[in-house]
Structure 1
Amino acid sequence: MLQVKKLTLHHLTDLKNIIQDLNFTVNPGEKVAIIGEEGNGKSTLLKWILDDKSIDSYTKAEGELINQFSRTVYLPQTLPAPYFETTLDEYFFGQDDVMEMDYTLLYQLVGQLGFDADRLTSAQKLGSLSGGEKIKVQLLKQLATNPDLLLLDEPSNDLDLDTLQWLENFIRTTPLTVIYISHDESFLAATATKVIQLELLRHKTIPVATVSNLSYKDYIEQKSARFVRQTEVASKQREEYQKKMEKHRQIENRVHHEQEVISRQNPGGGRLLKKKMHVVKSMGRRFERESEEFEDIPIKEDAILVKFSNTKALPAGKTIIHLENQEVKRDDKVLARSIHLLMRGPQKVGIIGKNGIGKSTWLKRLWAEMKNRTDIEAGYMPQNYADYLNLDETPIEFLSETGDSEELTQVMTYLGSMRFTSDEMHHPVRSLSGGQQAKLLLLKIDLSGQNVLLLDEPTRNFSPLSQPELRNLFKNFEGAIVTISHDRLFLQEVCDQIYELTEEGLQLVDLE
């Protein structure tokens, strides 16, 4: 069993609490999903449970942890930098923890995950692996140490569909206890038995934590119904209040008028009107006190308040991409060959494929070929945002093109609509969370009128509660899209066609 009692996490840079008085219990075998916007403390919470002292540099933690599990392991969101130059052979057989490894179990897992067992002893460096392969090798190593508590930070990120389905089934059926962060709705719906949602409301000043012993699907349905009900109650209370206050103002004005016109020869009537005005004002104060007890109007912290309203027109028959017999290479190795693709007008094409097949490499090459074309306005959302963003710029500088006052006002209005605070608008982009950087790229698409988008895992840094809006946003985009994704709902709802990139080229597939 694991217990967290009255945990408060105070951010030392922003000088605010990101989690306050959080209490929850995790029982053996539970699958606990932590959800919320980027920057709300999800990863920090996992590290605190792990007793990772690195969080002390930016967070002050107060609270009690009781962890009765015998072995806790942790899968970080990204491969730690010190491992980039480590070879696979060193990672699995040359580290200090080799005595803790169950190598029989390791080779069983290798087969299940579709990872080539011969590669375990190779000299390939971990830094050269694809995003999905980096997750696979870390997962293999951690599971081979026979833990009873798994802490996983976005384990579904970058995994190919076959591995993702394996991981879903593993988490759902394993007797191990799992606490994990994920943005993938399908993954959450298939695995979570308990949900912890972390929110920062009122311009990111009020931390709110909700702990629910429901499945993800039931929690979202309950939350949505509560949101609608609370909105209706709050709106009705304010509507009735306005009616009462309007009637009260009319009475107060009438009494005030009567006081002004009453003859001085009628002092008794004047005294009665004075008493009446006192009663009227007392009633007004009572109405105001009652309004302080009204139901709060609920806030959707994760709402995506942007529409692609500036998309430049794209003729239906215009050739956007015409590839014939291309190949994808990494160094001197050919990963995929015989790539053919003809894309016209506002089509939306999804790309899937096994980890390491070269999808991101291919999309990056496509961007290099398209970014300087003058007949389209191309945009790019890479898997690593630093490939596109200047991390030393502020959000305002990144989105501004002319720098004039009218444009500046528009840019700040757009940033405010995406819940950027004034401080965040003026901080370097590198200080923003992944979710905030992703929102910057969405704003760039709109402000620049981009009409051809190359997207590499576009949903990976958005809260699961904002995913339906994100899918709708791209579904209604009037331009063309080529997107790499392993988000099944995104592919099904947004894309007209889905191809799998294989060693022999692009193969049309049906995910239904």
Structure 2
Amino acid sequence: MVVERGQKIGLVGHNGAGKSTLLKLLAGVEPVTSGAVRIGSNVNSAYYAQHQLEILDPNETVFESIQKVSPGWSENEMRTYLGSFMFSGDEIEKYVKVLSGGEKARVALARMLVKPSHLLLLDEPTNHLDMVTRNVVERALIQFSGSIVCISHDRHFLNNVTNLTCEVGDGGIRLFEGNYEYYEWKKQVEKSAESPKPKIKSELKGKSDYKEQKKVRNRLSWIKKRFTIIENELKNQRSITQDPANGDDYELLQKAMETMTILESKYLKLMEEQESLNAK
């Protein structure tokens, strides 16, 4: 596996396939037992996983936590940078120990992106985040000019951030030249080409199995259509929150954010159902 400049790779595969292990090997968190990991000369990498939240000093303020890793920055530069992660005004003086899980994740990611790393290694960067925080993280990673290797169960995140998909499983990897949506389409095309034409079965069990499979296929098809509908609605609501003309309309913005949270919840539940149906 070779990670080149500008590539943003999403690691996919069933649970236990080795995605997290591969990411830890790339990060140097786990020792290599076979083969080798070679990082290019002068290439800096940064690793993010849920345990990063525990590394934050609970007795520091948000401002102090970022200040520690950004020597030479003026206070104005600090405030502007924190503002891009939705910390403004008195919020930057809040202590880490009183922050919510989503706020801590924003601080941890902000700290990581302060330093000019060339390669980001991310393990579920949007896990347990609210919709607003997900958008902040997603936007920051889209704008990131380096390379990314990430694991995420968030299909929407993978479609927007990644440009390559790496399937991990059966002791190896396979690269697909596109985001998660492309990967899913490619796998479906391959599956259709490989599947033999169904034989007519007279046995009752055979008919029962066929009906069940048809039921699953129909449900999966419906879920894909729902994904498209929800993604389009999320784009509409996001455009409302990002429109400067709505900056003072608190009620409109609040309603849009609440709608996005509901849509995101529906999206994640459908993802879980899709994963369960695909495993059958």
The normalised TM-score by structure 1 is 0.37
Name the residue aligned to 1:25.
Answer: 2
1:32-64 deviations in Å (ceiling 9; x for gaps): 111223333222222211112xx35xxx63222
Residue 65 of structure 1 aligns to a residue whose secondary structure is coil
Q: More helix by proportion, 1 or 2? A: 2
Q: Take 2:190 and 2:156, find their aligned partners in 1: how far apart are those partners?
A: 22
For residues 92 and 139 of structure 2, the distance between their equivalents in structure 1, rounded to whole angstroms, comes to 24
1:121, distance to aligned residue in structure 2 (A) = 4.0
Deviates more, 1:61-70 or 1:30-39: 61-70
Contact persistence 2:48–2:122 (CA under 8 A) = yes
Return the letter of the residue paired with 1:92.
I
Partner of 1:36: 13
Match of 1:188 in 2: 158
Classify 1:167/1:92 alpha carbon distance in 2 versus 1 (closer, same or farther; 3 Å). Answer: closer
Cα distance in 1 between the residues matched to 2:274 and 2:75: 42
Structure 2: how far apart are the matches of 1:83 and 1:457? 32
Please state if 1:144 is matched with 2:114.
yes
Whether the aligned pair in 2 keeps the contact of 1:75 and 1:151 (CA below 8 Å) is: yes
Please, which runs of 5 or more residues in structure 1 have no aligned partner? 1-23, 200-205, 240-302, 304-348, 354-455, 473-512
Corresponding residue for residue 63 of structure 1: 35
SS at match of 2:6: coil
Gaps of 5+ in 2: 201-215, 217-257
Q: How far 1:221 moved relative to its partner? A: 0.4
Equivalent positions of 1:35-184 (< 5 A) are: 35-52=12-29, 55-56=30-31, 61-68=33-40, 70-83=43-56, 85-88=58-61, 91-93=65-67, 97=69, 99=71, 106-116=78-88, 118-122=90-94, 124-126=95-97, 128-184=98-154
Residue of structure 1 in register with 2:178 after alignment: 214
1:351–1:101 distance in 2 versus 1, CA, 3 Å: same
Q: Select which of 468, 479, 500 maps to 2:274.
A: 468
Larger Rg: 1 or 2?
Answer: 1
Look up the SS of the partner of 1:214 in the other structure: coil
Return the offset for 1:230.
Answer: 2.0
Structure 1 residue 108 displacement after superposition: 2.8
Contact kept in structure 1, 2:79 and 2:88, CA below 8 Å: no
Deviation at 1:78, TM superposition (A): 3.7
CA displacement at 1:351 relative to structure 2: 8.9
Aligned equivalents of 2:138, 2:100: Cα separation in 1? 20
1:406-428 alpha-carbon deviations (Å, 9 max, x no partner)? xxxxxxxxxxxxxxxxxxxxxxx
Residues 32 and 179 in structure 1, CA contact (< 8 A), matched pair in contact too: yes
Greater relative contact order, per chain length (Cα 8 Å cut-off, separation 6+): 2
Higher strand share: 1
Structure 1 residues 351 and 31, CA, compared in 2 at 3 Å: closer, same or farther? closer
Tell me by how many angstroms 1:86 deviates: 4.3
Deviation at 1:176, TM superposition (A): 1.8
- Structure 1 residues 245-286: Cα deviation after superposition (integer angstroms, max 9, x where no partner): xxxxxxxxxxxxxxxxxxxxxxxxxxxxxxxxxxxxxxxxxx
What fraction of aligned residue pairs are identical, expressed as a percent?
Answer: 24
Q: How many residues align?
A: 218
Q: 1:352 aligns with which of 261, 268, 271?
A: 261
Give 1:100 deviation, angstroms. Answer: 8.7
Scaled by the length of structure 2, the TM-score of the pair is 0.64
Task: Please state if 1:223 is matched with 2:187.
Answer: yes
**Given that residues 70 and 114 in structure 2 are in contact (C-alpha distance below 8 angstroms), is that contact kept between their aligned partners in structure 1?**
no
State the 1:217 CA deviation. 1.1
Structure 2 Cα separation of the partners of residues 224 and 30 of structure 1: 24
CA distance in 2, matches of 1:40, 1:102: 45
